[in-house]
Structure 1
Amino acid sequence: MLGELIGEEQGETTGIRVLSTDGGHAVLEASFQATGTLLGASAKDMGTYESVTRADGTLFGQGQGITMTADGETLSWHGDGVGHFTESGGVSWRGAIYYETTAERFAQLNSIAAVYEFETDESGRITAKVYEWK
């Protein structure tokens, strides 16, 4: 069951690379930076996702990154998800994310899976929401 909202962020895509087009399936790498909140704390998030275009036109992606607070607390994360291109030229993603941290304030995230909604627009702006998955 979808639980409470634990994080929100806004930011931008900082780079895109084409890694492969073998077999007619494009593999892209996209990096982003964002700011927002995680469990009520202000945070900066940076990450890189690798995505592959599947035969039906949808995307599958896997990524990793780091979230940092102004107090110097850090969390690493790994995620995966599925996406589709939007009519406006962006990409809409849905998936799961898994955190790891030694920061006491965020320790509860070590033992949960979270789910996310991640949207990009045609100009590279991003918005994301992260929910606890119960």
Structure 2
Amino acid sequence: MRPDGSLYGEGQGIIMTREGDTVTWRGQGIGHFDDSGGVHWRGSIFYETGSPRFAELAGTAGVFEFDTEESGKVASKVYQWN
């Protein structure tokens, strides 16, 4: 948590298909609590892959919205930054 009450977060992960194709990602974002106890995240995400299946993501960046509710429900959107 930051002094102004906002949150800062970083993450990284991998997306893998059953066939073994992979995309790795690394992201950073800023979060804000809402009145119901949920958090609204906004940030950037960067992708890397050597997989032909995901070639369009190789070396790309995106911006994301990731919203959580106190109940545990989540929703997210990622927009490719061209």
State the TM-score, normalizing by the size of structure 1: 0.57
Q: CA deviation at 1:97?
A: 0.5
Match of residue 64, structure 1, among 12, 16, 33 = 12
Task: Kindly state the Cα deviation for residue 125 of structure 1 after the two structures are TM-superposed.
Answer: 2.0
Q: Partner residue of 2:42? A: 94
CA offsets 1:11-60 (integer angstroms, 9 cap, x no match): xxxxxxxxxxxxxxxxxxxxxxxxxxxxxxxxxxxxxxxxxx00000011
CA distance in structure 1 between the aligned counterparts of 2:80 and 2:13, rounded to whole angstroms: 18
Look up the match of 1:85: 33
Distance (whole Å) between structure 2 residues aligned to residue 125 and residue 65 of structure 1: 20
Pairs within 5 Å for 1:38-77? 53-77=1-25
For 1:39-96, what per-residue CA distance to the aligned partner results, in whole angstroms no more than 9, with x for missing partners?
A: xxxxxxxxxxxxxx00000011110111122433211110001110011111100001
**SS of aligned partner of 1:111:** coil
**Backbone CA RMSD of aligned residues:** 1.2
SS in 1 for 2:15: strand
Q: What is the aligned partner in structure 2 of residue 129 from structure 1?
A: 77
Higher strand share: 1
Q: How far apart, in 1, do the equivalents of 2:22 and 2:3 lie? A: 37
Q: How many residues align?
A: 82
Gaps of 5+ in 2: none
8 Å contact from structure 2 (residues 62, 78) kept in 1 = yes
Large movers: runs of 4+ above 4 Å: none
Q: Which residue of 1 aligns with 2:55?
A: 107
Identity among equivalent positions (%) equals 56
Partner secondary structure for residue 55 of structure 1:
coil
TM-score, scaled to structure 2: 0.90
